[in-house]
Amino acid sequence: MHFKMKFLLPAALLAASVGAASAATCEAVVESNDAMKYNVSEIAIDKSCKKFTVTLKHVGKQPKAAMGHNWVLTKAADQAGVNADGIKAGAGKDYLPAGDARVIAATKLIGGGETTSVSFDTSKLKSGEKYVFFCSFPGHSGLMKGTIKF
Ligand code: CO
């Protein structure tokens, strides 16, 4: 029994890790902080993913009203317009225009210590189009912006 277990366990672990490596990861974790930054500048979305989930963590301590962060996905060409309209929409709307078709996905706005996530259908993304993610809190998207690799 002891002899058998010694050899079975490593084989099972190896099989599990190989399986995990070959399957596409259809999620990403993005950290944001009190220095107005995300910890990633590019997110790769594998075309085999039907749905993709982004989890946003605010690892800082500042409250939402002072250093709020969200994660908003739009076409690169729509980013400036959505950002401007979001600022007009105000804090009560998480700085996003309500029901705006240009917003492909967005988390709620969070403050320090909070975590949130959003899932979206990758069928909304088209090959060859350029997509970006950014924080729509006023003044943040200059530093808090990245690209989607799809
Ligand atoms: Co922000």
**Structural domain count of the chain:** 1
User: What was the pLDDT predicted at 135?
Assistant: 98
Per residue in 61-96, pLDDT (tens digit) is 999 999 999 999 999 999 999 999 999 999 999 999
Distance from the alpha carbon of residue 95 to the mean position of ligand 1, in angstroms: 10
Question: Could you identify the residue written with the tokens 């804090």?
Answer: 91
Distance from the alpha carbon of residue 141 to the mean position of ligand 1, in angstroms: 7
Distance from the alpha carbon of residue 82 to the mean position of ligand 1, in angstroms: 15
**Length of the chain measured in residues:** 150
Q: Is residue 6 part of a domain?
A: no
Q: Is residue 100 part of a domain?
A: yes
What DSSP string describes 21-55? HHS---EEEEEE-TTS-BS-SEEE--TT-SEEEEE
Low-confidence ranges of the chain (pLDDT < 50): 1, 13-21
Residue 12 amino acid letter: A
Domain hosting residue 41, numbered range: 24-149
Q: Is residue 11 part of a domain?
A: no
Distance from the alpha carbon of residue 103 to the mean position of ligand 1, in angstroms: 16
Give the CATH number of the domain where residue 52 resides: 2.60.40.420
